Structure 1
Amino acid sequence: MRRALGALVLFLPLAAGCGFSTSSGEAEGTGSPSAGPVTVEAANGTVTLPGPAERIVSLSPTTTEMLFAIGAGGQVVAVDDYSTYPEEAPRTDLSGFKPNAEAIAGYKPDLVVLSDDMDGIVGALGKLKIPVIQEPAATVLDDSYDQIADLGTATGKSAEATEVVETMRDRIDAAVKAVPDGSGLTYFHEVTTDLYTITSKTFMGQIYGLFGLENIADGADKQGTGYPQLSAEAVLKADPRLIFLADAKGAGQSAETVSERAGWSGLTAVKEDGVVALDDDIASRWGPRLPDLIEAVSAAVQKAAA
């Protein structure tokens, strides 16, 4: 599948890999690290570091965002070419999709964090004695919270990680509580202009599920991938009340361009101002900016239900 579908990879249901981490050099209840090893239970197994990592290479846009959110940005020496946020992240030509162990080693990292074990990179880095923490695509919200906690442990930023998670939880809870029951409101989530979409079982689909929204694509996923392709006729027949565009920046899509598609000007979502342009990056990641995404969905649901 072509490069335009790259964002889909980020939400494919991979093996769960987080949720438990310890630091033998951390005072209980304080989150303040002292000298001593730290241990993280990641998707690639138990990872023990001699102390908080000081030279980190991130090969995942989501882990890059997490590291900077918890205040560990100063410990990051290089990030991959897709890590576009925050701006101060030390972006390089390193690839998370086609990783090169020697190129990564050139940054002399004491820790590499990534989401996928592409081309056996975890084993390749292991042969070079470089520790790796794998944090795969989240399948539920708690995965995101757990991964932030893991990175907090690995970097000596446990207290900061806890604060980030608590803030995320509070904002998400408030956004969900701010809307009436959205049952009966249907939606279409556009990943690409050739109408690849998501189903309710995906991570993003669960986000919409928080508001009781009904996904018009659920019945179309015959292969069970979670990412079916709909026809224009199927979308027109379903006539969703809301259309969420996850290709607004990458493909230049907007309420205006949607209305110009053949037959789409008659859709309820178009006629009633229910076409919502999402931030492509946030909609394809599961990091600390999730509250921004969920608040945008909340605002759209409130407007549609009014």
Structure 2
Amino acid sequence: MLICRRLLLLVSFAFLTFGGSAGLALAGEVCARDDTGARLCLDQPATRIAALSPGATELVWAAGAGEQVVAVVDYSDYPPAARKVPKVGSHTRLDMERLLQLQPDLVIAWVTGNPAEQVQMLKDLELPVFSIEPRSFEAVSDTIERLATLAGTETDGFVEADRFRRGIAELREQYASAEPVPVFYQVWDEPLMTVNDEHLIGEMIQLCGGDNIFGELERLVPRISTEAVVTGNPEAILAGGMGEENRHWLTRWQAFPQLTATARDNLFFIPPSLVQRPTPRMLEGTRLFCEKLEVARARRD
């Protein structure tokens, strides 16, 4: 009962604090459209930002607004400074009471990753919620720019967005004529999961000259079987594992010597945070991914 009463008090505070946001805009108004198509306007740039996914945390820092972050969720470990910010649960279950206590004036939500009912509750309380889910390299740069606009950090944010954009363009040009390499990218182990060509990682595979053997599947992150991988016979298998140094996901494929990837020792580990978060670090991850496929090409007869 005490927690419920405290939550009601916080709800009342949030309503009084943010309830007038629909009125006349101030001179410092900033606006941006999020990835659900909703247009968000703030009377002034945000100074207390809550990032509700590890990727959102990185993107806010990339936008130059790291010092304005007052709340993150579990596994928000980059940059290192993010580890010191108060946590408000996980991306799949938010601690609403703790989040409201921190009084954010901008909440960065994950479109398909955060609980829809909790995000709606924040909107019902009239907290400014900006939902993101970049699904292409260009969208990563664009998201950084929109976040920088909302945070009033355009100078730093637009520079970082352009750095990422130019870096990807250089890699795209470098590998434009690369010979195709049939690739399986393992995004999860149990259940076994991969990505299709519409996924951001699918774009990475294509940029590097890879031919995703599951690229035409309908689901963005489809579940597959071991037999399907064996039948697809990739020339290279890349996986991230459950951590930055955990390579055990690749060991299962050593039991299938008939796979071209296994026979040629083209089983490659990629640190998951470099490819599975839609952030500027994907530039480093893409460069590493492309280098692994170059190794696979060099091992052809």
Structure with more relative contact order (C-alpha pairs < 8 Å, separation 6 or more): 1
Give the corresponding residue for 1:243: 237
Q: Does the Cα contact within 8 Å between 1:248 and 1:278 map onto a contact in 2?
A: no
Q: Indicate how the Cα distance of structure 1 residues 109 and 177 shifts in structure 2: closer, same or farther if over 3 A, else same.
A: same
Moved over 3 A (4+): none
Give the corresponding residue for 1:4: none
Q: How far, CA to CA, are the matches of 1:129 and 1:232 in structure 2? A: 47
Q: Which SS does the other structure have where 1:214 is aligned?
A: strand
Structure having the larger proportion of residues in helix = 2
The alpha-carbon deviation at position 107 of structure 1 amounts to 0.4
Give the corresponding residue for 1:15: none
Q: Which SS does the other structure have where 2:156 is aligned?
A: helix
Q: How far, CA to CA, are the matches of 1:164 and 1:126 in structure 2? A: 30
Aligned equivalent of 1:68, options 52, 61, 71: 61
Q: Are positions 1:291 and 2:283 aligned together?
A: yes
Q: Does the Cα contact within 8 Å between 1:66 and 1:148 map onto a contact in 2?
A: yes
Q: How far, CA to CA, are the matches of 1:256 and 1:113 in structure 2? A: 34
Counterpart residue identity of residue 303, structure 1: V
Aligned equivalent of 1:202, options 194, 199, 202: 199
The alpha-carbon deviation at position 64 of structure 1 amounts to 0.6
Give the number of aligned pairs.
Answer: 268
The CA deviation string for residues 164-201 of structure 1, in whole angstroms up to 9 with x for no partner, is: 11111222122233336344310001122243111222
Counterpart residue identity of residue 145, structure 2: A
Higher alpha-carbon deviation: 170-179 or 103-112 = 170-179
**TM-score between both structures, scaled by the size of structure 2:** 0.80
Give the corresponding residue for 1:190: 186
Counterpart residue identity of residue 165, structure 1: A
Q: How far, CA to CA, are the matches of 1:101 and 1:172 in structure 2? A: 38
Q: Are positions 1:233 and 2:230 aligned together?
A: no
Q: Are positions 1:115 and 2:107 aligned together?
A: no
Give the corresponding residue for 1:154: 150
Q: Which SS does the other structure have where 1:88 is aligned?
A: helix
Q: Which SS does the other structure have where 2:78 is aligned?
A: coil
Q: Are positions 1:253 and 2:247 aligned together?
A: yes
Q: Could you list the runs of 5+ residues in structure 2 that have no partner in the other structure?
A: 1-24
Higher alpha-carbon deviation: 200-209 or 245-254 = 245-254
Q: Which has the larger radius of gyration?
A: 2
Q: Does the Cα contact within 8 Å between 1:44 and 1:133 map onto a contact in 2?
A: no
The CA deviation string for residues 178-235 of structure 1, in whole angstroms up to 9 with x for no partner, is: 336344310001122243111222221122112332112246x3xx213333332332
Give the corresponding residue for 1:214: 211
**TM-score between both structures, scaled by the size of structure 1:** 0.79
Matches within 5 A, 1:1-306: 36-42=28-34, 43=36, 45-89=38-82, 90-116=85-111, 118-135=115-132, 137-179=133-175, 181-194=177-190, 195-218=192-215, 221=217, 224-247=218-241, 249=243, 252-254=246-248, 257-258=251-252, 260=254, 262-263=255-256, 265-306=257-298
Aligned Cα root-mean-square deviation (Å):
2.5
Identity of aligned residues (%): 27
The alpha-carbon deviation at position 102 of structure 1 amounts to 2.9
Q: How far, CA to CA, are the matches of 1:176 and 1:193 in structure 2? A: 29
The CA deviation string for residues 26-51 of structure 1, in whole angstroms up to 9 with x for no partner, is: xxxxxxxxx61111112261211121
The alpha-carbon deviation at position 93 of structure 1 amounts to 4.0
The alpha-carbon deviation at position 154 of structure 1 amounts to 0.8
Q: Does the Cα contact within 8 Å between 2:245 and 2:271 map onto a contact in 1?
A: no
Q: How far, CA to CA, are the matches of 2:219 and 2:233 in structure 1? A: 23
